[in-house]
Amino acid sequence: MTRRIVVLLSGRGSNFQSLLNASLTGELSGSIDLVISNRPQAGGLAIANNANIDTALIDHQAYATRDAFDADLAGVIDSVTPDLIVLAGFMRILTQSFVSQFAGRLLNIHPSLLPLYPGLNTHQRALDNGDTHAGATVHYVTGELDGGPSVIQAKVPIESGDTKDRLADRILQVEHQIYPQAVNWHLSGRLALRNGVLYKDSVPLPATGELWRAPQ
């Protein structure tokens, strides 16, 4: 049985595009059945439409509360009974009730080496702190902002003269490589969360997740 993926996004959809590419080449162990955006102008919706993937627009500005928005979002997601919900630049903080409903089926990618720099402005914060490396982390979503168990992490050296935009561009390149890998691990049953510890192939992962190494 083909495993189903729902993608949530708010913007241009570059991480979604990397997942779509992996899906088309059979690297995901599943298919992207639905793409949902909270913003009508999100570029990711056009990518999905061009690929003949079903889309849904749930504009958060039409809702008085986060709870009401999340309730409708959950209803649309449930209509396709997905095996995994992938947050690909989804710029909404999800309510605890939503996260609990889909616990263990929510993956996110965050542009920092978690637990460093949860939240926004991660690249500038790394530069301001004089760090030697920045990066990205794929993690499961819990009620704690950017605090769920980490699956995989990629480190990117900070170069002399880096700006936040230059650094962000290099980090985005590794995001496009580690996110499909983590999604595939989940869909192929290689990940398991037991008593707060995340296992891959029955071996406990470090708190920061597996360290990604670029293909040689």
Would you place residue 2 in the very low, low, confident or very high pLDDT band (cuts 50, 70, 90)?
Answer: confident
Q: Is the pLDDT of residue 1 over 80?
A: no
Query: Is-catalytic flag, 110?
Result: yes
Query: CA 95 to CA 102: how far, in whole Å?
Result: 11
CB atoms within 10 A of CB 67: 12
Q: What is the pTM of this model?
A: 0.96
Taking the alpha carbons of 210, 84, 6, 58 in that order, is the dihedral positive or negative? Answer: negative
Contact 114, 153 (CB under 8 A): yes
Contact 16, 47 (CB under 8 A): yes
Q: Name the catalytic one among 60, 110, 133, 186.
A: 110
Residue among 9, 87, 7 at smallest CA distance from 43 = 9
Q: Which residues contact 121 (CB under 8 A, 6 or more apart)?
A: 164
Q: Where are the beta strands (DSSP E) in 52-195?
A: 54-57, 84-87, 106-110, 133-140, 150-157, 191-194
CATH number attached to the domain at 4-211: 3.40.50.170
As a whole number, mean pLDDT of residues 141-156 equals 94
Question: In a 3-state reduction of DSSP, which class is residue 185?
Answer: helix
Q: Is the pLDDT of residue 5 over 90?
A: yes
Peptide bond preceding 206: is omega within 30 degrees of 0, i.e. cis?
no
CA dist list (Å): 76 to 10, 11, 37: 16, 19, 11
The secondary structure of the chain in percent helix, strand, coil, rounded to multiples of 5, reads: 35, 25, 40
Taking the alpha carbons of 80, 83, 89, 92 in that order, is the dihedral positive or negative? Answer: positive
Tell me the pLDDT tens digit for each residue of 94-146.
999 999 999 999 999 999 999 999 999 999 999 999 999 999 999 999 988 89
Contact 193, 104 (CB under 8 A): yes
Query: CA 52 to CA 211: how far, in whole Å?
Result: 34
Tell me the pLDDT tens digit for each residue of 29-59.
999 999 999 999 999 999 999 999 999 999 9
Query: CA 27 to CA 104: how far, in whole Å?
Result: 21
Task: Please measure the distance between the N-terminal and C-terminal CA atoms of the chain and give it in whole angstroms.
Answer: 34
